[in-house]
Amino acid sequence: MPKAKIKRKSTWVDMTAMCDVAFLLLTFFMLTSNFTKKEPVLVATPTSVSEIKIPETNIMTILVDKTGKVYFGIDGQEKRKLLIEKMASIYKVSLTPDEIKKYTLLELVGNPMQAMQAYLRLPADARDLPQNNLGIPADSTNNEFKEWVKSAREVNPDLRIAIKADEKTPYPIIKQVMKSLQQLDESRYNLITKLEGAPGRE
Amino acid sequence: MAEISQDSGSHKKGKKRRAKKLTTRIDLTPMVDLGFLLITFFMLTTSLIKPQTMEITMPSDKKVLEEDQTVAKASQAISIILAKDDVVYYYFGKTEGAKLIKTNYAPDGLRKILLEKNYDVAKQVEDLKAEKIRTHMKEEDYQKKLSSIRANKNAPVVRIMATDDSNYKNLVDALDEMNICSISRYAIVDFDEPDKQLIATLAP
């Protein structure tokens, strides 16, 4: 009996198809993605059944964290530049063009104008540390938050207000924020929530 | 160094020999690697879920004219007090002599009471939703009908009062219940003196 010769198979696999798939998926992700915005603190928003989506542009975000620190930011780098210049002139803080540039790259900032310069001079990785974010004061004695909202409104009249707060934020802080908005006659705003399962109605 | 000498050697020979036909097959493995690396990056950095939002309108601080003010009938009024540790108190009608009842945010708590009070409107909204699905109603028509149902004069008016011990989640939950129960007339009110006394009588 002749010995059957085992044919040595080549291990070469044609990668073309796999490459096609990989790049197809890559294209999909590149086109559909909008990057997650970097937030200085992590907040867990409460859930609701509301299904209204928040628009992506012309948004003024007010972030309130668990401890009650208020962060503020608007979208659009051009608008942010105008905002910080306005705030600097109101609070008589002189910022260098380089510091203004740094501010425009930040999504949300939670520092009063007095501490702004020191904050912007920090290295990027130190900015998220809790001790470097003092929170914008929103109480009745020193309501800097109101100035931010007012200036942002002057910079971009189409802004919609979105409040994003942590579930565990104590109510008095939310009340202060809402009161400040009320005083500015900003009576319509959005509360950002997560979607929860549809409720059972009996 | 070895490569160079090899290369020059083959070059010499190549002159004599016929040009070797090069295969056009390229190893695509590194390219696939790169592709998947980039996919991983995009998958991790993107947010596919857009956050939901709840729209609320608060009364402005401007003085409201006396005739513009809507005075709720005592029989329609429901007051909700959001207290500590996810406890809710509610009472019907006027503050004076009201009896506080304790409940919670569970479906058979606050929602049950509100639905009972708002039965007519909630029923109509439910029917409208069913009709919308059945007849493929246009969104505009649906909204028009919805707002006409919600404008019901006999629907309850809810006052939401949050104590300083409550948190943001409680407020959102309460507002959410308003949405679920199709209550169109509600307001977030300051937690003031008469109600504070009411709560104080309850405290151990």
Judged by a CB distance cut-off of 8 A, whether residue B173 touches chain A is yes
Q: Which residue does chain B place closest to A12, by CA atoms?
A: B27
Give the number of other Cβ atoms within 10 Å of residue B168's Cβ. Answer: 24
Amino acid type, B141: D
Closest partner CB to B36 (pick from A22, A162, A174): A22
- Interval A127-182: pLDDT, tens: 777 777 777 877 777 778 888 888 888 888 888 888 888 888 888 888 888 888 88
With cut-offs at 50, 70 and 90, classify the pLDDT of residue A24: very high
Interface residue B80 vs chain A (CB under 8 A): no
Q: Quote the strand ranges of chain A, DSSP E.
A: 47-48, 52-53, 59-64, 70-74, 160-165, 188-195
Q: Which range among A10-24, B3-17, B47-61, B81-95 shows the weakest confidence by mean pLDDT?
A: B3-17
User: What's the full length of chain A, in residues?
Assistant: 202
Q: From CA A202, how far away is CA A44, in angstroms rounded? A: 29
Residue A127 structure tokens: 């900015």
In whole angstroms, give the CA distance from residue B184 to residue B123: 14
Question: What 3 state SS string does chain B have?
Answer: CHHHHHHHHHHHHHHHCCCCCCCCCCCCHHHHHHHHHHHHHHHHHECCCCCEEEEEECCCCCCCCHHHCCCCCCCCEEEEEECHHHCEEEEECCCCCCCCEEECCCCCCHHHHHHHHCHHHHHHHHHHHHHHHHHCCCHHHHHHHHHHHHCCCCCCEEEEEECCCCEHHHHHHHHHHHHHCCCCCEEEECCCHHHHHHHHHHCC
**ipTM of the complex in this document:** 0.72
pLDDT digits (tens, 9 = 90+) for B81-139: 887 777 888 887 776 667 777 777 777 777 777 777 777 777 777 778 778 777 777 77
CB–CB contact B168 A16 (8 Å): no
Nearest chain A residue to B169 by CA distance is A167
Q: Domain extents for chain A?
A: 47-195
Measured between CB atoms, does B32 come within 8 Å of chain A?
yes
Instruction: Please count the residue pairs, one from chain A and one from chain B, whose beta carbons lie less than 8 angstroms apart.
Output: 166
Q: Do the bridges between strand A70-74 and strand A160-165 make them parallel or antiparallel, or are there none, so unpaired?
A: unpaired
CATH number of B72-118+155-202: 3.30.420
Bridge-based pairing of strands B88-92 and B101-103 is antiparallel
* H helix or E strand, kind and range, residue B175: helix B168-180
Q: Percent of chain B at pLDDT above 90?
A: 4
Measured in angstroms, the CA of A100 and the nearest CA of chain B are apart by 26
User: Mutating which of A58, A69, A180, A193 best tests the B interface, going by the most B Cβ atoms within 10 A?
Assistant: A193
Q: Compute the mean pLDDT over every residue in chain B, rounded to the nearest whole number.
A: 73
Q: Across residues B42-51, what is the average pLDDT? A: 76
Position A81 scores a pLDDT of 84
Q: B170 at the A interface (CB within 8 A)?
A: yes
If we measure between CA atoms, which residue out of B105, B132, B103, B51 comes closest to residue A194?
B51
Task: Say whether pLDDT at B14 is over 50.
Answer: no
Q: Are B80 and B90 in contact (CB under 8 A)?
A: yes
Other CB atoms within 10 Å distance of the CB of residue A151: 19
Strands A70-74 and A188-195: unpaired
- B84 neighbourhood in chain A, CB within 8 Å: none
* Residue A200 touches chain B, beta carbons under 8 Å: yes
pTM: 0.72
Please state which of the ranges A32-36, A86-90, A119-123, B23-27 shows the lowest mean pLDDT.
A32-36
Domain boundaries, chain B: 72-118+155-202
